[in-house]
Amino acid sequence: MDPQNKHYARKATWLAFGLVALAASISSAQDSLGLNSALDTTYVSLKSWRCCIEYHDALQTAVDATSTSFQPSPSGSTSTLTEPPPVPPSVQHDFDQTAEAARAYKQAMSTLTSIKIHPPQHTFDPALASGNGNSKSIFSSFLPNLQGQGPIGSMVRIVLKLHNSLNRVASVFSQEGLGLGSKKKDEEMRGKAIKVIDLLEHSAELGNTDALFTLGQVSLFPPTHHFPLEPSLAYHSFSEHASRTGNATSQSYLAFFHATGYKDAVLVNQGKAQLYTTFAANGGDKGAQMALGYRYWSGIGTSESCERALSWYGSAAEQAMARFMSGPPGGRSLPQTATRLSDLAGGIYGPGASVASTGLHSQRPAIKAGVARAAGETWEDVLEYYLFNADRGEIDFAYRLGKIFYQGSIYASPGGIASGSEGVGAIPRNFKSARRYFLLIARQVWPHDPPNSMTVKDEHKPVGYAAASAAYLGRMYLRGEGVKVDYAMAKAWYERGAEHGERECHNGLGIIYRDGLGVKADMKQALIHFNIAAGQELAEAQVNIGKYHYNRGEMALATTYFETAIRNGSPFEAYYYLGEIHSAQASNSGLAQHVASSSCAMAVSFYKLVAERGIWDDDLLRDAEIAWMSGTDQGKEVAMLKWWMAAERGYEIAQNNLAYVLDQDKSVLRLTRFSPFTPSNDFARLALTQWVRAAAQRNIDALVKVADYYYHGLGVSVEETEQSRLEKAARYYQSASDTQTSALAMWNLGWMYENGVGVPQDFHLAKRHYDLALETNSEAYLPVVLSLAKLYIRSAWHTLMGGKGGLSLWGPDDDEIVKQTQGQQIDDGKQSTGTEEGAQNEDRYLEEEDGPWYFGKAKEEFRRRSGQTVSARRRGEEEDPIQWARERREAEREREGDFGPEDYLEATLRGGNREDGEIDEFGETIVLVLLCLVISILLYIRTRIVERMRRDQREQGQAGDQQGRPNGNGGVFPPPGDPARADWAILR
């Protein structure tokens, strides 16, 4: 071949490889930004490769033709040189368009990455996250300790505090803080946003499908407030992208638009929503599978079908489980739990009135966090207090601080390390700081790292905290968290803690022996360690034993372990395997119909929990919280959009948050002419829809809200009569009252019976519901007492006017007699034979199985059957960190002030009485009242005595004036030296 021909061929080859490399770089950039799916990447790669092959073939044809034209002539005298045929115009045009589209898309993505995205949900001072160094130098002997207790350390801390406060004030009044210097930067960022959108539109017009999908993402979820929110553009972009590529994610977005009609981008069409959701679910989109399962379960846009809901929720749960198992040994770290906005305010109806903040629900982390925030406590203050005490050498503070940095939250979830943490107390995870504090504790017992096994034998050393710290250190080496993976070091740390009976260490050793990590696999040895940890109620160890029996086909024993693990706090794996077991029972044709139906419902509930917790890629709830915490109008709008999308997938928390934000039933003046806003029936209708869906998933406060909406006529159809909606409100109140948890629903129902609104007027039923409200919640004492007083007055007036059915003021009411009769019947029933009891229990079980089902009932069912409750928290490790720190601070103040300089007697009494029993409050009140009476009587007697003495003196003075004779100097007053002068002395 001629050298020039070889040159053409080489250029064509290099051009083809260049285009392939360009397509690969585009795909890698796309993956790094997380803006498309694997299906799009494959499609673009194949398309780019196909274009390269077609263009290479065209060039090769041209080169071959050129090479034939360079053959010498037969005469051999001269070589005629002919021009190569030109590249076909269509191929050249397509290549130019493809290259330009790729160039524009790459430039748009480069500009987009330089724009700041939403800030994280919670950030604090990086200095607090990094902590102080643990190493000591020669200078530390001369310089004052900033965390010390001396006056120099205190002075330095005060100076640093003042310096930080002055810096904050200066930053506020700077040009950036006042908004004067940021105008130019804002214009620059807005220009970049316009550039990104323009480049994406240009690339999409040239046929780049990646740019089309990215344009839809940017239009629907603006990265910053400089980007406009354009749902219509997003809908058309996703529609075009889905029609070209069949991408499942785009079809899922289209399903959302058709299901909700968001921003009027398209009319609501549940049929099209069902169609697009089915296409996306079959394409492997996990969110679409959850949405389709929820639609079949709730009957949205289709008929209810437990079997189809089980199929789609099972597929979503399988994806979540596969992603979980793809992580380090023991599985991926679980995402933090989502938070209800209403919980931060004490519930939908506020503290005390909401079910979410009464009874055992008041101990949930979200409620505690809301109380702490209302008291003015911030996570920065909590961490600073922990850091101060930990750096002073307080072991318990250091251990808790290490846990906080490891789990990335103030609040840990019950069940052990593998159970994750609560998102309400989220802080940035810092494995380096966590490891530093754990080593600080462990080295007090083991001065050297493994393999040195020397132990300090001292009864005063914190062996328990050291063993717990060894569990965290072993886990970090086992999973490569903050350090390189080292199975030998992990095993050594686990063995150190296991010597002292630490359950997490035994579980870690079981994982090492089961999976053969650095050692020969030994299932027998693994089971020994798992059983030790499971005996100490560690949920992860119980799951590991359950999986062993599950793989051996011992389903009954496996079910027992999985249910026990759930009671002890297992949030993920146990639910998945229980879902698998009940799914197999639901598909067993040999079981009775009601048993199979019950198993199907339980399997759906368990799969739903797994699918909703296993969200490492598309965490809509977390993203919505971050956007909401940004505080901007656009951020809140994006948050509501993502909550709406999650609500369509069946997330109860998202349904609650969206309805709570849109709730128009909060203002006291809502029904008066002083109402601060005009109610929007569109927003009220959407809020009512979300309240209804949340109520169907055992949200009792949402159920009461549904009744409130029907009572006030918010969001209901204008064609519905007033009597009809009031009757519906009464039925919803009755449903909430039947749960025996909502005192507010009972009181509302009592008021409706008292006034005959929506139900027939019945004073006896009104009194019964008022009494039940007080029994359910003691905080309802005042409103119930006032209501009962008004009820008796109204009943008496009703009786005086000749009415019937009033309450009796002198004897027991009819309803109390009925209650006593029912109680006697129950007591008589207890004396029946065992056969009758068994028949009654069986009938009751069948009746419950045939009753309506709801999300969460499966969990309540096996808890009720087992008759067990969640065990107490072990060793106090999972108690509220803020409350624990508050109690420690108060204890230190009392201890330091027992014999302080302010009041020795008071401090002595306070210290001496600390171990005494509590004084009876009633007796103390009586004593105070008696003391006040005695003091009042004494004051009265003293006043009377003084007045009588003064009156006697005045009378004596008047008598002396009449009998005495005036002298020359003092009148009737005796002269000095006269003994009668003493009679004139004034008694005091």
221 secondary structure, DSSP code: S
Give yes or no for a contact between 170 and 96, defined as CB atoms under 8 angstroms apart. no
Calpha distance 855→694 (Å, rounded): 10
Provide the pLDDT for residue 650. Answer: 94
What's the rounded Cα separation, in Å, for the pair 174 and 163?
A: 16
Question: Mean pLDDT of all residues in the chain?
Answer: 77
The DSSP line for 606-634 is HHHHHHHH--SS--HHHHHHHHHHT--HH
Nearest to 22 by CA among 87, 95, 93: 95
User: Cβ distance 729 to 715 under 8 Å?
Assistant: no
Structure confidence at residue 163 (pLDDT) = 67
Task: Tell me the C-alpha distance between 435 and 416, whole Å.
Answer: 18
Q: pLDDT tens digits, residue range 269-290?
A: 999 999 999 999 999 999 999 9
User: Do the beta carbons of residue 214 and residue 250 sit within 8 Å?
Assistant: no
662 near 644, Cβ under 8 Å? no
CB atoms inside a 10 Å sphere around CB 794: 16
pLDDT score recorded for residue 926: 77
Tokens standing for residue 283: 């394409």
755 vs 959: CA distance, rounded Å: 76
Q: What is the pLDDT of residue 939?
A: 86
| pLDDT tens digits, one per residue of 524-579 | 999 999 999 999 999 999 999 999 999 999 999 999 999 999 999 999 999 999 99
Contact 611, 317 (CB under 8 A): yes
Whether residue 369 contacts residue 425, with contact meaning beta carbons closer than 8 Å, is answered with yes
Q: What are phi and psi of 693, to 5 degrees?
A: -70, -40
Nearest to 15, CA basis, from 47, 59, 75, 45: 59
Side-chain-facing half-sphere of 411: CA atoms under 13 Å:
23
pLDDT of residue 361: 83
Type of residue at 156: V
93-126 burial: b if 16+ Cβ within 10 Å, else e: eebeebeebbbbbbbbbebbeeeeebeebbebee
Side chain identity at 521, as an amino acid letter?
Answer: A
Task: Using CB atoms within 10 Å of the CB of residue 257, give its burial: 0 to 12 exposed, 13 to 18 middle, 19+ buried.
Answer: buried
CA distance 290 to 320: 11
In angstroms, the CA 252 to CA 454 distance is 60
Q: Give the helix/strand (H/E) hosting 344.
A: none
Distance in angstroms (rounded) separating the CA atoms of residues 143 and 681: 68
Q: Is the dihedral of CA 500, 502, 506, 511 positive or negative?
A: negative
Torsion of CA 810, 815, 817, 820, to 10 degrees: -130
User: How far out from the chain centre does Cα 583 lie?
Assistant: 29
- Please name which of 290, 217, 950 lies closest in space to residue 613, comparing C-alpha atoms: 290
* Mean pLDDT, contiguous 10-residue spans, the chain (988 residues): 51 52 45 38 37 40 38 38 53 71 90 67 36 37 43 60 64 53 78 92 92 94 90 95 94 96 93 95 95 95 94 96 93 92 90 87 86 80 85 88 92 90 89 93 85 62 89 94 93 93 94 93 94 93 95 94 93 95 91 89 95 91 90 90 96 95 65 53 89 94 94 89 93 93 93 93 92 91 90 88 75 50 39 44 44 54 51 52 67 54 38 44 72 87 86 75 51 60 51
| Ranges of H-type helices in 206-230 | 209-220
Pairwise CA distance, residues 962 & 378, whole Å: 82
Q: 34: burial class by Cβ within 10 Å (0-12, 13-18, 19+)?
A: exposed
Six-digit token pair at 836? 């009758």
Local structure of 719: helix, strand or coil: coil
Bridge partners, 422 (sequence order): 337
| Other Cβ atoms within 10 Å of 549 Cβ, number | 17
Q: Which two tokens stand for residue 400?
A: 């808790």
What is the residue-wise DSSP string for 815-866? HHHHHHHHHHHHHHHTTS-HHHHHHHHHHHHHHHHHS---TTHHHHHHHHHH
pTM above 0.75, yes or no: no
Q: Tokens 């929110």 appear where?
A: 229
Cα distance between the two ends of the chain = 139
| Secondary structure class of 283 (helix, strand, coil) | coil
Query: Is the bond leading into 901 cis (omega within 30 degrees of zero)?
Result: no
pLDDT for the residue numbered 735: 94
Angle between helices 463-479 and 431-442 (to 10 degrees): 140
